[in-house]
Structure 1
Amino acid sequence: MNLGIIGATGKTGNAVLQVALDRRINVTAIVRNETRLTIDVPTIEKDIFSLTAEDLRPFDAVICTFASSKKSDYPRVNQHLTDILTGTDTRLIVVGSGSTLFIDDSRTKTVGDKLPIIMRNSSRNHLKARQILQNSNIDWTYMAPPMNYLPSGDKTGYYQTGHDVLLHDHNGNSSISYADMALALVDELQHPQNEKQLMTVAWE
């Protein structure tokens, strides 16, 4: 399998990169600045909006871990990626936002609906980005983290999966570490269960 990781120098991207290499997946890091890479792998050094269909053609799958403080970038990123992947067999897995998840099985309110008003514009942009994937003709998966996404959390190797509703563990917490999120992403890559679906994970 040939995998491209967009944002491989970020926290999520780097965690995914390490898991993929451990599993002997052929990985290319797609980054804006390859000098920030701490692992020696093939690279494509480009801004995400400069990527072309030809750049992504060699990959069986692309995992996008793009992150930006400019929230209006998220819909633009997904639109650009779906545009250049349309008509190909390349699978796109996007790490999105937990704010798009429903709070409970009633599916009447999202996490974003409960956020302070000042943060709701961010949530709306993430939702727009998700909907671009849902309305596309590519092979996509949108992975939303739980409420607490922990950079320094343990790698337990255990997690539960769901689709569009926020998950909680047996203590009522909605959390996962970057390390276990990376495991879940690579597990989904190697053993697809959520093609053209929403996906979320959390510790059990």
Structure 2
Amino acid sequence: MNLLILGATGRVGREVVRLALEDQHNVTAFVRDPARLGLSHPKLHVLKGDATQASDLLSAVKGQHAVLGALSTDGGSTLSISMPLIVKAMEKEGVKRIVTIGTAGILNSRENPEIFRFQSNESRRIMTRAAEEHLKAFETLKKSSLQWTVVCPTYLPDGESEGRYRVEANMLPNRGERISVCDAASFAYNQLADESYLYRRVGIAY
């Protein structure tokens, strides 16, 4: 598979790169600063670009079979600006499958499924800017023709994979408090070949 990974220098993105290379896929890591990736592999192509630039994304998407988006909000509007451009590039090139990393804040509230977690007292975060950015990206995907899945982890500490975790469509598993970067990345990566959560957000936690 030819796989494009956006946000490849982030914690989740870097782990997905590692998993995909282990499986001998052809990986394109789309990054702003190639020096930050610090990886080399015969099947790894590092592509420098800006996710807010349509021409950069179109070049990156060309020839791919699937896209995994692990872009952060970057403290601003990178995510909400880039997602419409990603969708447009994928639709133009006929690339259908995309798995993205969201946040548990955009899952439905368990107590009141009519609102999102970040709008309820289930979320411990005082600031909602990041969740609002992820929500805009999610709403863009919903309106697209792409085959999308949004993986929504809760608190993401570093650490080893535990290999066992809980997932739930559109909600965070009850009493879920954390999930390691490794396990979140592994689950997201596996969704590229699994349609169980097609057109769904997926909460993941231990």
TM-score (norm 2): 0.86
- Corresponding position: 1:145 with 2:150: no
111, 114, 119: which one pairs with 2:117? 111
More displaced stretch, 109-118 vs 93-102 = 109-118
**CA separation in 2, counterparts of 1:125 and 1:80?**
15
Using the TM superposition, give the Cα deviation of residue 179 of structure 1 relative to its aligned residue in structure 2, in angstroms: 0.3
Using the TM superposition, give the Cα deviation of residue 161 of structure 1 relative to its aligned residue in structure 2, in angstroms: 2.0
- Corresponding position: 1:23 with 2:28: no
Q: Percent identity?
A: 24
Name the residue aligned to 1:79.
84
Contact 1:3 1:28 in 2 (8 A): yes
Name the residue aligned to 1:65.
70
Gap regions ≥5 residues in structure 2: none
**CA separation in 2, counterparts of 1:61 and 1:67?**
19
Distance change in 2, residues 1:156/1:121 (3 Å): closer
Contact 1:99 1:123 in 2 (8 A): yes
Matched pairs, number: 198
Using the TM superposition, give the Cα deviation of residue 26 of structure 1 relative to its aligned residue in structure 2, in angstroms: 1.8
Name the residue aligned to 2:96.
90
Gap regions ≥5 residues in structure 1: none
Aligned-partner residue type, residue 48 of structure 2? E
Using the TM superposition, give the Cα deviation of residue 36 of structure 1 relative to its aligned residue in structure 2, in angstroms: 1.3
Using the TM superposition, give the Cα deviation of residue 139 of structure 1 relative to its aligned residue in structure 2, in angstroms: 1.9
More displaced stretch, 193-202 vs 55-64 = 193-202
Q: Which runs of 4+ in 1 moved over 4 A?
A: 115-118
* Counterpart secondary structure, 1:48: coil
Aligned-partner residue type, residue 187 of structure 2? A
- Corresponding position: 1:164 with 2:167: no
Contact 1:78 1:129 in 2 (8 A): yes
Name the residue aligned to 1:11.
11
Using the TM superposition, give the Cα deviation of residue 106 of structure 1 relative to its aligned residue in structure 2, in angstroms: 4.3
Using the TM superposition, give the Cα deviation of residue 116 of structure 1 relative to its aligned residue in structure 2, in angstroms: 7.3
Using the TM superposition, give the Cα deviation of residue 137 of structure 1 relative to its aligned residue in structure 2, in angstroms: 1.3
**CA separation in 1, counterparts of 2:132 and 2:21?**
35
* Counterpart secondary structure, 1:143: strand
